[in-house]
Amino acid sequence: MADAVLQGLAAGAGLMPPEATRAMPRPPRTIVPLWGLPIVAAILIGEVFAIASNSFWALDFYHVVGGGIWTALDLFVGLVIGPIIGSMSVQARAEFTARFMPKMLLIMPTLVTMTLASGFQLARHVGFLEASAPRHGWVVASFIVVGVMSVIALGILEPANLAVLFEMRKPKPNGELIGRLMRRFAYTAGVTGVMQLATLVIMTRLAT
């Protein structure tokens, strides 16, 4: 998720000199990219139709695509992009964040919605929600893991992402506040990374 992008930033959190915060690049005027809203709307409308029609193929498509991209993005950002950003200068990190984070504000909620809504409908469709189902325990485990990750993504990290972007838009950003928010990203990145690995184990068990 967008959380792991700022793991490298957390290393310098709270240590930014005043001149660095004053020179910090500003996010776009519209923090949420307006051009992406029609794309998100089209995806969500398609998912509503998939659920309403109870199409197994469409539900499977949304679940596999949404979950696959969500997992891959978390792992890639945490293991590849995060360390790269950690080696950048404060100015370069801030510039990357100002461009990258607004897009993640659209991408992550969309992926979470795609994965959860279609996954629940699929489980209901194939009978995995029944307590007597052979793989019911694995389904419950997946609900717990994905539910916790969703709470972290939408209830903790997304508000922090917005707070960082709004703070960076101020004439004199508060470096101490940005530092605290960056540390939040760092602390939760490890949790979500481990849980994504657990999700891969659970999903492969359900598929076999």
Tens of pLDDT, residue by residue over 151-165, are 887 787 777 777 777
Among the listed ranges 78-87, 105-114, 124-133, which one has the minimum average pLDDT value?
78-87
Residue 106 token pair: 């659209």
- The mean pLDDT of 70-74, rounded to a whole number, is 81
CA distances from 170 to 14, 185, 195 (A): 17, 21, 35
Q: Angle CA(27)–CA(172)–CA(12) in degrees, nearest 5?
A: 75
Query: Does 46 score more than 90 pLDDT?
Result: yes
Percentage with pLDDT > 70 across the chain: 72
Highest-confidence range of 10-14, 33-37, 87-91, 191-195, by mean pLDDT?
33-37
pLDDT computed for residue 3 by the predictor: 44
Q: Angle CA(193)–CA(197)–CA(203) in degrees, nearest 5?
A: 140
Angle between helices 90-126 and 136-150 (to 10 degrees): 150
DSSP letter (8 states) at residue 155: I
Query: Does 4 score more than 50 pLDDT?
Result: no
Query: Does 60 score more than 50 pLDDT?
Result: yes
Give yes or no for a contact between 27 and 83, defined as CB atoms under 8 angstroms apart: no
Give yes or no for a contact between 185 and 160, defined as CB atoms under 8 angstroms apart: yes
Residue type, 57: W
Query: Does 146 score more than 80 pLDDT?
Result: yes
- What is the distance between the alpha carbons of residues 137 and 124, in angstroms, rounded to a whole number? 14
How much is the CA Rg of the chain, to the nearest whole Å?
Answer: 19
DSSP letter (8 states) at residue 34: G
Q: Compute the CA torsion angle 181, 187, 193, 196 (nearest 10 deg).
A: -80
pLDDT computed for residue 134 by the predictor: 80
- The mean pLDDT of 31-57, rounded to a whole number, is 90
